[in-house]
Amino acid sequence: MKREHFIPKTDLKIIADDEKFSFTIDSILLTDFAKMKKGTNLIDIGCGTGILMLRCNAMYNLSKCIGIEIQKDVADMLVETITINNLENVDIINDDFKNVYIKNDSIDNIIVNPPYQKNGHGISNKNTNFHTSRYDNEMKLEDLFEFAKLKLKSNRSLFMINRCERLVDLLSIARKYNMEAKRIRFVQSRINDKPNLVMIQFVKNQKPFLTFEKNLIIYDGEDYTEEVMNIYGITKV
């Protein structure tokens, strides 16, 4: 069933169907990590509900956002979201990102929360929307980094979140396409847990120099940590 959700720390609403796929905390954390300059443009690959580009648009006052979504019903919902928020600087393209024409060397920022699971690994979900969102048969890392290399301006950024076990793949494939990891931050559920997610800023045509930021911890007991509450804009009572 479709429902309206408020996007944290903005005045925007988002339409999502919980039976297909909604947004998770991963997207909120990534938009906070992805620092963008005011007046720059953004492509959100596999944009889904639009949570990444819409929150970034509001937080960083972007000039133009382009969301690319392969699933028609999901793209149609996103068009509804754009309409109810009266957003004039956001365009939606319903297609495979590999087929989309965008001028080379024209984009300032790309953001993506790609499927974490390699196709053929784990238990497949019969729900087509969930399967597309979680398995990389439609969005392979090689294709993502090739797209970023072509479309980004020099010294501009690709922001991504993924599982820690894919880190070696991410770094090696990125370098193959002249996308250098410059900032990295691991995410863990609690202070004594091992990290399970990693957020990375890749920059086109940069020399190697990687900055590690302190790990982001989500929970303090049963509640969010103070940092995560600040990211969500929640005031502790």
Q: Does residue 213 sit within a domain? A: yes
Higher-confidence residue of 150 and 235: namely: 150
Q: Does residue 220 sit within a domain? A: yes
Q: What is the DSSP letter of 193?
A: S
Q: Are 37 and 157 in contact (CB under 8 A)?
A: no
pLDDT digits 0-9 by tens, 89-129: 999 999 999 999 999 999 999 999 999 766 444 444 444 44
Residue 67 in tokens:
């969301």
pLDDT digits 0-9 by tens, 112-123: 999 976 644 444
pLDDT digits 0-9 by tens, 184-216: 999 999 999 999 999 999 999 999 999 999 999
Q: Where are the beta strands (DSSP E) in the chain?
A: 2-6, 13-17, 41-45, 64-68, 90-93, 107-112, 152-163, 179-188, 197-204, 211-212, 216-217, 219-220, 223-224
Q: Does residue 58 sit within a domain? A: yes
Q: Are 115 and 135 in contact (CB under 8 A)?
A: yes
Q: What is the DSSP letter of 99?
A: G
Number of domains in the chain: 1
Q: Does residue 237 sit within a domain? A: no
Q: Does residue 46 sit within a domain? A: yes
Cα–Cα distance list, 141 to 112, 167, 219 (Å): 11, 11, 30
Pairing of strands 152-163, 179-188: unpaired
Q: Which of 19-23, 143-147, 175-179, 207-211 has the lowest mean pLDDT?
A: 19-23
Rg over alpha carbons for the chain, rounded to the nearest Å, is: 17
Residue 14 has pLDDT above 80, yes or no: yes
Residue 225: give its domain's CATH number.
3.40.50.150
Identify the pLDDT of residue 127.
45
Percent over 90 (pLDDT), the chain: 82
**Domain limits for position 131:** 2-232
Separation between Cα atoms, residue 176 and residue 193, nearest integer Å: 32
Residue 138 has pLDDT above 50, yes or no: yes
Q: Does residue 195 sit within a domain? A: yes
Q: How confident is the model at residue 139 (pLDDT cuts 50, 70, 90)?
A: confident
